[in-house]
């Protein structure tokens, strides 16, 4: 493995090794996908940024999966020093089902965030493969993405993020290639159908190179783990690294960059730029408007809502409003016009200061439910609660209440108990 990054001065919120200091601002990792991204490139960039290989291996080796090894090779790509993550296997001709991979990850008893990030990635891969081959996700047979190296790349990336203490993942727009690529199903267009589906709603662009710059595994890692896409976010940079692809490309460094640092608090940073798009409609049914909201959110909008208004000539109508990342303006604007039938859309560039939130989880009936904690509020993730509701037959509102109550009860147990005098129990009462 290449030597770790040099830290002249540790950034606020980060230790000299790049690990977060408890009680300081959260840690963010930004993947710069100027030459695309693959599973080994994501993992290699994090190793190059300072995630210790031994610590990553200590996590990944919990998987009940034998016959593999992982090494980190220092290489050059177009003159840039990078790390190539290489998975060595003794037997890799295994076609695994999605259910098999879920079992491997769950049996590994990995750290919570590692488990969640890995399972979210494989769930997206299964969903996309299922759509492409018209199979239910649980019946999907993974070929390339079920191999040893892909499992290690995905779980290893999640483990490396954990070793670096990364709380949030974001990424740049994603580059793709052109031409065709070879797969287990024969030759496919480049980017492959799976990559195109996985990057739905994600800002992308194509380079005129006949190389598979972004693979399904790399696209799934971003789609599952990244909370947003755009330029480098406000942070105090602590370390950076480059993960190398398997070969050189003429005129292009074949690598993915990651930048890791302490996220700037809202008081220290300018507001997050957001675009507000709106259109007025007076001839759309409730069904059409409801579908439009779903389509806008699927296109990557942060939020979308409808406001009743009185339009010209006293006609009742609706204003459809959408809040989004500015880089998605064209995609979301086209969706808004297409789904509402509007003849025009207006927009304004705004700023927002989202409140910081933390994530925790509780277990309900054998299913993990994520809990979002912000000042003065606790909220269960609806998608997780829906899974519990569908498995148990309980009303969704009951599952949400149970999950939030369980977290509050557990949180209360963690707090120190005061004696009737107001002093901690271990403190002697003054005479």
- Write down the pLDDT at residue 139: 57
Superfamily of domain 272-352: Transcriptional regulatory protein pf0864 domain like (3.30.70.1380)
**3-state DSSP call for residue 8?**
coil
Q: Is the pLDDT of residue 182 over 90?
A: no
Q: Is the pLDDT of residue 230 over 80?
A: yes
Q: Is the pLDDT of residue 222 over 90?
A: yes
For 95-133, b where at least 16 C-beta lie within 10 A, e where not — what string? ebbbeebbebbeebebeebbbbbbbbbbbbbbbbbbeee
Tens-digit pLDDT profile for residues 240-288 = 999 999 889 988 999 999 999 998 764 456 678 899 999 999 999 999 9
Q: Mean pLDDT lowest for which of 181-185, 203-207, 250-254? A: 181-185
What is the number of residues in the chain? 431
Q: Bigger pLDDT: 144 or 153?
A: 153
Mean of all residue pLDDT scores within the chain: 84
Q: Is the pLDDT of residue 49 over 80?
A: yes
Backbone CA torsion sign across 246, 250, 253, 256: negative
Instruction: State which of 412-416, 417-421, 427-431 shows the largest mean pLDDT.
Output: 412-416
Indicate the pLDDT class of residue 136, thresholds 50, 70 and 90. Answer: low
Q: Bigger pLDDT: 51 or 127?
A: 51
Instruction: Express as a percent the part of the chain with pLDDT over 70.
Output: 83
Average pLDDT rounded to a whole number, residues 404-422: 69
Q: Is the pLDDT of residue 305 over 90?
A: yes
- As a whole number of angstroms, the distance between CA 39 and CA 16 comes to 27
Residue whose C-alpha is closest to residue 348's, from 279, 274, 293, 280: 274
- Write down the pLDDT at residue 67: 84
Q: Which helix (H) or strand (E) holds 238?
A: strand 235-244
Q: What is the 3-state secondary structure (H, E, C) of 283-348?
A: CCCHHHHHHHHHHHHHCCCCEEEEEEEECHHHCEEEEEEEEECHHHHHHHHHHHHHHHCCCCCEEE
Indicate the pLDDT class of residue 65, thresholds 50, 70 and 90. Answer: confident
Q: Is the pLDDT of residue 173 over 60?
A: yes
Indicate the pLDDT class of residue 14, thresholds 50, 70 and 90. Answer: very low
Average pLDDT rounded to a whole number, residues 218-241: 92
Indicate the pLDDT class of residue 413, thresholds 50, 70 and 90. Answer: confident
Listed by start position, the domains of the chain span 27-263, 272-352, 358-413
Indicate the pLDDT class of residue 145, thresholds 50, 70 and 90. Answer: very low
Average pLDDT rounded to a whole number, residues 390-403: 91
Query: Angle 112-133/148-163 helices, nearest 10 degrees?
Result: 140
- Write down the pLDDT at residue 128: 86
- As a whole number of angstroms, the distance between CA 19 and CA 164 comes to 5
> 409 is written with which tokens?
């009860």
- Write down the pLDDT at residue 138: 60
Q: Is the pLDDT of residue 191 over 80?
A: yes
Tens-digit pLDDT profile for residues 105-116 = 999 999 999 999
């Amino acid at each position: 493995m290449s030597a770790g990054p040099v830290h002249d001065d540790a950034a606020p919120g980060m230790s000299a090794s790049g690990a977060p200091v408890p009680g300081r601002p959260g840690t963010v990792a930004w993947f710069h996908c100027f030459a695309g991204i693959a599973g080994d490139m994501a993992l290699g960039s994090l190793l190059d940024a300072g995630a210790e290989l031994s610590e990553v291996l200590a996590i990944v080796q919990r998987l009940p999966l034998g016959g593999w090894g992982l090494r980190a090779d220092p290489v050059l790509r177009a003159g840039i020093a990078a790390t190539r993550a290489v998975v060595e296997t003794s037997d890799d001709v295994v076609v695994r089902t999605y259910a098999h991979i879920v079992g491997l990850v769950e049996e590994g008893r990995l750290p919570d965030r590692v488990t969640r990030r890995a399972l979210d990635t494989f769930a997206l891969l299964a969903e996309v493969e299922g759509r492409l081959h018209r199979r239910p996700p649980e019946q999907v047979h993974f070929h390339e993405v079920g191999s040893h190296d892909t499992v290690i790349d995905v779980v290893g990336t999640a483990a490396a993020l954990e070793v670096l203490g990364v709380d949030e993942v974001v990424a740049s727009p994603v580059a793709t290639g052109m031409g065709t690529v070879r797969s287990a199903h024969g030759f496919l267009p480049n980017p492959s159908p799976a990559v195109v589906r996985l990057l739905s709603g994600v800002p992308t662009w194509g380079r005129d190179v006949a190389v598979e710059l972004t693979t399904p595994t790399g696209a799934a890692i971003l789609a599952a783990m990244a909370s947003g896409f755009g330029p480098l976010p406000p942070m105090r940079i602590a370390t950076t690294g480059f993960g190398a692809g398997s070969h050189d490309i003429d005129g292009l460094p074949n690598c993915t960059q990651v930048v890791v640092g302490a996220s700037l608090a809202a008081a220290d940073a300018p507001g997050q730029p957001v675009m507000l798009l709106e259109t007025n409609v007076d001839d759309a049914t409730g069904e059409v408007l409801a579908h439009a909201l779903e389509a806008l959110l699927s296109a990557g909008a942060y939020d979308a809502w409808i406001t009743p208004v009185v339009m010209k000539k006293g006609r009742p109508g609706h204003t459809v409003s959408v809040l989004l990342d500015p880089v998605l303006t064209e995609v979301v604007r086209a969706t808004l016009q297409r789904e509402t039938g509007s003849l025009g859309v207006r927009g304004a560039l705004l700023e927002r200061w989202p409140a910081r939130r933390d994530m925790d989880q509780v277990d309900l009936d054998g299913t993990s439910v994520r809990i979002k904690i912000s000042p003065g509020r606790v909220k269960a993730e609806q998608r997780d609660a829906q899974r519990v509701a569908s498995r148990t037959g309980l009303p969704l509102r009951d599952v949400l209440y149970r999950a939030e109550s369980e977290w509050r009860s557990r949180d209360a147990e963690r707090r120190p108990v005061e004696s009737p005098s107001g002093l901690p129990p271990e403190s002697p009462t003054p005479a």
